[in-house]
Structure 1
Amino acid sequence: MNRLQGREMAAIACFDSFGKTAMAMLSVCRKEGAGTTLYLLEIQGRRLSRRQLLEIQRIDGRVTIIHQEWQQLRAIRPTLLGLDALILGLDGQRTRELQLLLRADAPDGHWPLTVSAYPGILFRHQIEGMMDRSGADLLCLNSPVDLDLYQQACRALGLPSDNAVVTGLPILWDLHPRRRTSVERPTIVFFEQPSVPGNPLQRHYLCNRLNDLAQRWPDHTVIFKPRTSGVERTLHRRHGEMASRIEKLMRKSPNLQINYKPSLALLRHCGCAITVSSTAAMESMAMGISTRIVGDLGVNETLGNHYFMGSNSVRDFAAIIEDPFTPIHDETWLDRHGRCPHGSDQFVMALADRIAQGRSRPETSGTPGPAGWGAESWQRYALRHGGRRMLTSAGNRSRLKTTQRGKNAVRYLRDLVLGLRWVEDFVRGR
């Protein structure tokens, strides 16, 4: 049944995780008969590597991909306005920016139906991110827990929340428990994250514990999966690389290795997946693989592992080393935090219904942005005194930042010259 036959769909995405999520959603739309295009709008300093592009393309090679710079967004706006639906695979600020542009180009409300989704688990700035996306005609949430939080926020503001639907994590839609084949020597994989943990000493500690794990299980390959490869480090920000430390430890433990293959490829032969708080843990659990969330550094929002508190998978390395291969995660928790057995079908059904009905949430005439961004009086005040950047950043950026640059430069020069205490005392005549 082609529920989207003849419809034209597109997605705009920045960053690899958003690109994968947008491609997964477009792939489902294409199979339902829609014409599909993915616009990968890259951001200066955060360019996608060849490996990341290939991983996105592998999800569905029949979806058209167009590469452009984010600065070229204005040039494709006429094309976007002719679509039936537009998927926003963007962070909160750029989601706001695009919605403002669509409203500016089509003030009568005749812009495409907009869809927004999250590429991974929500563990920081949850309500802020939801409100950034609250103007979407269809807001795809990962779990009933997220839906409840969104509904609470909308009730507090007196807003409808009927644009939200639980579809689960799109990256889990096609994942099923792996067959219990007799893998003679399953691997153990640690999935690195770009900025977690943030402290160099913590990262050093984790590397040492991985080495201890490798020495305890010499017949099993212990794989360190870096977030980026050596070549990609020249294209992306570096957040404290652990791979160099692992390379040194590999001399002591021959079964400790570094592998840059895609996460799913590594999980197919994996007996235990370890991470601090990566979304790879959700993929591992969905495949029925033994999963461990590192608890040695504590459980908190900075690490993001607080999201997994109820999953029964948080363990310290001593327990991981003792028994890495027994699945211990709570299946009920997984169903309430990202796995949705019929998520793709719910997504298509909700999308087809909204396209057929037209925009069911009438926009307030002349309002700069959706009500979830704040009162109309505030939005107009923000635009008048802080410009579009003030409104798209939810007030986190303003002209005040620009006016402080001169003062910051003076402070930098002062600190450079007066950095030594005795020099400062001498100059001040103390």
Structure 2
Amino acid sequence: MPDIRLDGYLLRGRATPTARQLREVGVHADSLREVTAVEFLRAMDREAEEQYDVLVLALVGGGVQAMLHGLRHVWGERAERPVVVTGYVGVVYEKLADGLLLRHGADIVLANSRQDADRFRDVYEGVGADASSVTEVALPFLGGKPYTGEHEPYTVVFAAQPSVPETRKDRTYLLNRLIEHARKHPEREVLLKLRSRPGEHTTHIEELPYQKLAQGKDLPANFSLVYGHMGEVLDRTDLLVTVSSTAALEALHRRVPTVVLSDLGIREALGNHHFVGSGCLASWDQLDAGHRPVPDEQWVARQGVAAGGTPSEGGSYERAFDAARERITELLARPGGLPPLNPYYTTETAPGYLPGILARHHLGPDGAPLPGAPASDKAPGPVRQIVRRAARGAYRHGVQRVAPVIRRMGEL
């Protein structure tokens, strides 16, 4: 296997990952730095630097679209350029057309299951866009030891999500039911698995973190809050409960009994509609009474989880990424190099939408940096670092504390 060098660029913003979050990914970069969009594009334009073979845009849809247009501007007609890869990591249950079209223009758009690949191609072909970039793979973080039987003690894990459900009432309801389940089953260990520690953010903003809602509550001895890698928590899980988290697919892949809650309804806004037909939908009342879900094997297979069994069972998950590898190899060997990036959204197809997306990253309608765009290549000094941390803290405080108060005042 040839030597591989991995350079990481962290796009500066409200969701820039912390050192802890990066450690949990389990992949260590040879170099890592935080950049603005313009700094990143400038780095990609330096012909004197070593040419990259593959460039992965691991961003939300608007960020991907901005970088695609920015890269198109800096690379122009250059044929010797990296293969650009993007996609989703998780359940695609909302903004399907919007998110997909914002990712169009990359050489490869990864789909995490057969179902997603079919849906992605339907969207692209439905608007007359090239769908050849869609490449079926699987969720990249599946794996781990398959579930072989109950642990001692029997462990129930609720996988929290930062933005689902959204309201204080609904989140408090779920927390109270989890606590009540722990009281009804003192022989069980009940864990509330949290996505982020206080002050951290993921892609989605969490205005009402569960750890805040749990403050002051009389918690039973068998109830606790846990952080850390989801895979490590699943190693000791006997029942995974969630509203619509991707953790459900992780659990199903390992054959861990999994429940997607129906208490708040089965609704697109919650994302649990994605699990219709899975056999996993159930309520807290049913779980309190001892219900054990049985997943539908055909549904599970279409989601790209436990396909043909887990890898340890000789299944096909370990080969799920062969198509992407082959596609990258094919593109890199293409005679004459690669064509210019060609996103579906242009100032002709989306003149009222695209310029605003690009402007958020200080790019003009043609992908060129706007006058005055932040583009310093120098590492920030200690004072600037302190100011930046303070600004992020103020932003997060506003999101998690001030905004909910203003919203409640508006409802009076």
Instruction: Show the 5 A alignment for 1:284-295.
Output: 284-295=251-262
**Residue 203 (1) aligns with residue 175 (2):** no
Q: Which digits, 9 at most, give the CA deviation of each residue in 1:73-93, with x for residues without a partner?
A: 234223588212211111111
Structure 2 CA distance for aligned equivalents of residues 385 and 327 of structure 1: 48
Deviation at 1:95, TM superposition (A): 0.8
Decide which of 60, 71, 87 is 1:102's aligned counterpart: 71
1:42 and 1:331, CA in 2 relative to 1: closer, same or farther beyond 3 A? Answer: farther
Letter in 2 for 1:377: E
Q: Please give the TM-score of this superposition, normalised by the length of structure 2.
A: 0.76
Letter in 1 for 2:228: K
Instruction: Show the 5 A alignment for 1:255-274.
Output: 255-274=222-241
Structure 1 CA distance for aligned equivalents of residues 211 and 357 of structure 2: 43
Query: In structure 1, what is the equivalent of residue 84 of structure 2?
Result: 114
Q: Please give the TM-score of this superposition, normalised by the length of structure 1.
A: 0.73
Letter in 2 for 1:317: W
Letter in 1 for 2:158: F
Deviation at 1:171, TM superposition (A): 1.6
Structure 2 CA distance for aligned equivalents of residues 385 and 188 of structure 1: 47
**Residue 344 (1) aligns with residue 321 (2):** yes
Q: How many residues align?
A: 351
Structure 1 CA distance for aligned equivalents of residues 163 and 173 of structure 2: 15
CA contact (8 A) 1:137 1:359 kept: no
Structure 1 CA distance for aligned equivalents of residues 113 and 285 of structure 2: 32
Give the helix-richer structure, 1 or 2: 1
Instruction: Show the 5 A alignment for 1:139-178.
Output: 139-172=109-142, 175-176=143-144, 178=146
User: The residue matched to 1:323 in structure 2 has which SS?
Assistant: coil
Structure 2 CA distance for aligned equivalents of residues 378 and 182 of structure 1: 55
Letter in 1 for 2:36: W
Instruction: Show the 5 A alignment for 1:1-400.
Output: 2=1, 5=2, 33-43=3-13, 45-56=14-25, 59-61=26-28, 63-71=29-37, 72-79=39-46, 82-110=51-79, 111-172=81-142, 175-176=143-144, 178-180=146-148, 183-232=151-200, 237-249=205-217, 251-323=218-290, 326-339=292-305, 341=317, 342-357=319-334, 362-363=339-340, 370=342, 372-373=344-345, 377-378=348-349, 388-389=358-359
1:245 and 1:385, CA in 2 relative to 1: closer, same or farther beyond 3 A? Answer: closer
Identical counterparts, % of pairs: 25
1:179 and 1:307, CA in 2 relative to 1: closer, same or farther beyond 3 A? Answer: closer
Structure 2 CA distance for aligned equivalents of residues 383 and 321 of structure 1: 48
CA RMSD of aligned residues (A): 3.2
Structure 1 CA distance for aligned equivalents of residues 284 and 337 of structure 2: 51
Q: Which digits, 9 at most, give the CA deviation of each residue in 1:103-154, with x for residues without a partner?
A: 1112114332111121111011112211122211111111222222222223
1:382 and 1:248, CA in 2 relative to 1: closer, same or farther beyond 3 A? Answer: closer
User: The residue matched to 1:270 in structure 2 has which SS?
Assistant: coil
Deviation at 1:385, TM superposition (A): 8.0
- Higher RCO (C-alpha under 8 Å, 6+ residues apart): 2
- Greater C-alpha Rg: 1
Structure 1 CA distance for aligned equivalents of residues 267 and 127 of structure 2: 28
Deviation at 1:214, TM superposition (A): 0.5
Deviation at 1:362, TM superposition (A): 4.2
Structure 1 CA distance for aligned equivalents of residues 209 and 97 of structure 2: 31
